Amino acid sequence: MIEHTIQDTPVPALGFGTYQLRGTACREAVADALAIGYRHIDTAQAYENEAEVGAAIAASDVPRDDLFVTTKVWVDNLEPGTARRTTAQSLRDLQMDYVDLLLIHWPNESLAPLEATLDALDALKEDGKARHIGVSNFTPTLLQRAVDHTTIFCNQVEYHPFLSQDALLAQARSHDLLLTAYSPLARGQVLDSDRLQAISERHGKTPAQVTLRWLVQQEQVAAIPKASSAQHRAENFNIFDFHLSDEEMRAIHTLAAGKRLIDPTFAPDWEQ
């Protein structure tokens, strides 16, 4: 598997996201993803599937040290004591002593200042409950506050060919942190792009595979596609046997049109 190295720690460039997967379907999807070769599994308190993710991992024959598991503290749980308590519950649900990456899922200072929440996550890191901490859905302004306060490993944001993240990418590279793309296939809309279709035909791949290759081929970018079917999970993983040219990379970048798919009303401090 192709890997990026951020702060001397290897992180798989392609992970498996579990958003909206629940119950038996979630357990089976995670088990299948592990069998295919995925080693980065992404979940969250808000997904209500940490127990299923943990059960699938526990039942697999993949050593824990070979996995990179991410979970996220929900927007209602950012008061320091609540963050610590709910993370402890996340670990119980996951059947793990630690997660590799613990994120603030969305910014929300109505409960506690950002710095106080980051201190709580840092304390969890010091206690061995998280190897790294980071943020998700942070704008450049909020991300700068975070990196000025502590070591941030990752900013997980919506990123796909139709939404540029140039400012956050520049910031990630400046501060040597990872930018992880969620909704990397724009909820399937990449399949309808004539440009992506043309590039995919040249490589004998699908538009989804070309999109994921475009993401992980960028410096310090990872992607966590969710796929509910075994076929799509296998296809998404099969992106490391071809390379996009500089011209093809630029052509995909020019698709950006400010098309944001995620616009929450529950995160008071979030801004586009």
Cβ neighbours, 10 Å, residue 219: 9
Residues acting as catalytic residues: 47
* Matching residue, tokens 């990752």: 154
| Contact criterion met (CB below 8 Å) for 69 and 57 | yes
Rounded distance between C-alpha atoms, residue 34 and residue 185, angstroms: 21
| Contact criterion met (CB below 8 Å) for 115 and 134 | no
For 109-149, the pLDDT digits (tens) are 999 999 999 999 999 999 999 999 999 999 999 999 999 99
| Contact criterion met (CB below 8 Å) for 221 and 181 | yes
For 169-211, the pLDDT digits (tens) are 999 999 999 999 999 999 999 999 999 999 999 999 999 999 9
Which letter, b or e, does each residue of 38-48 get, where b requires 16 or more Cβ atoms within 10 Å of its Cβ?
bbbbbbbbbbe
Domain coordinates of the chain in residue numbers? 10-186+218-228
CA atoms 28, 33, 37, 39: torsion sign: negative
Cβ neighbours, 10 Å, residue 145: 17
For 26-66, the pLDDT digits (tens) are 999 999 999 999 999 999 999 999 999 999 999 999 999 99
Q: Which fold has domain 10-186+218-228?
A: TIM Barrel (3.20.20)
